[in-house]
Amino acid sequence: MLLPLTLSCESISCPLNNTVESVYGFYAADYAADGTLNTGTAISIGDTLTVTLLGLDSVILNRLIGASSMKLPVSYYEDTDVVELAFTDTLLQTASDTVWIHKRNHHHWDDPSCPVHMWHDVLDVRSTHYLIDTVLVTNPTINYDGLENFQIYFRVD
């Protein structure tokens, strides 16, 4: 009687929210008198934000307005993702910044009966500085838990 009991008990728990995305938060670059960055002052972007990823023909995020964060897909197999952020103001003047995300990719699975995903460990990040002041890595593991991975600090002057 033990054998059927042993062989028939199986449960599968695949995560329901399983989209792997990098999460960016937008912040104001506010410096203290001693020159240190005061972190954590969230802002909403007044301009229109359009995002493209190098290597893709299409726009990945089109004309985002008033956002305080964004989520972007991450390449499965590239070592570095290049993200271009174009800000267009009401006078249709556009300023762009580029962010380079250097990462290590690895497979992740929960169960043989669940889809395999790619997770990413951020090794380094750098950017141009037309509008962006600083990019901080707050959570280097990019997976499907929805936590903020990057904080982008914009110039406020």
Partner 1 sequence: MDSKTSRSISAWTNGWLCLLSLLLVATPAKASEPTGSEQRDTIVVAVDSTAVEEMTQQLAENLGGEKKRKIHFINGFGIGADILGLVQKVGSSDWTNMEAMARVNILERYFPIFELGIGEADHEGRDLDNRFRVRAPYFRVGMDYNFRAQQADGNRLLFGFRYGFSTYKYDLDSAVPLRDPVWKTEQQFVLHDLSGNAHWLELVFGLETRLWTIVRLGWDLRVKFLINQKAHEVGEPWLIPGFGKKPDGIGWGGSFKLMFDI
Which chain residues interact with partner 1 by CB under 8 A? 2-3, 6-7, 9-13, 53, 55-56, 60, 73, 75-78, 106-116, 118-119
Cβ proximity to partner 1, 56 vs 137, nearer residue: 56
Cβ proximity to partner 1, 42 vs 54, nearer residue: 54
Helix and strand numbers (H, E) in the chain are 1, 12
83 burial level (CB within 10 Å; 0-12, 13-18, 19+): buried
Of 126, 125, 121, nearest to 139 (Cα)? 121
Cβ proximity to partner 1, 28 vs 60, nearer residue: 60
Q: Which helix (H) or strand (E) holds 80?
A: strand 80-88
